[in-house]
Amino acid sequence: MSRAGDSRADDPGLARARTRLAWTRTALSFAAIGAVLLKLDLAAGFVVLALSVLVWAVGRLAGVPGTSARRGRLLVIALAVTAVSAVALALALFGPQTAGLHL
């Protein structure tokens, strides 16, 4: 991918750069949840960490015009979050009953 998008004339309002950063934040959110899940359920944690890598990879493509390709990518992200929610729901319902943190 060209780095030409960093120049102001090519990227008005730095829209592309800001979108790339938004993708990075989103991938980091996935990674943070994956890291926390590792503590509760190793397999679920690794699944979500793998999803964070997927989000990061999809985000690398941000800034490429062409909405038809974009459409499928964003659907993948929405479904990934739904999957994380399903994993969390399963853990909440069938996971170990913890005594909670007593600080």
Partner 1 sequence: MGNVPRIPAGRETPTDGSSPTNPAVPGSPVPPAAVAPAAVSPPGEPDARFTFANERTFLAWIRTALALVAAGLAIVQLLPPFHGIRWGRHAIGIPLILLGAIVAVVSYLEWDANQRALRRGDPPRHSRLPQLLAVIVGLVALAAAVLALISS
Residues forming the site for partner 1 (CB under 8 A): 2, 9-13, 15-16, 18-19, 22-23, 25-26, 29-30, 32-33, 36-37, 40, 62-67, 69-71, 74-75, 77-79, 81-82, 84-86, 88-89, 91-93, 95, 98-102
Residue number, 32 or 42, with CB nearest to partner 1: 32
Residue number, 57 or 74, with CB nearest to partner 1: 74
What the block records as the tokens of 90 is 């399963």
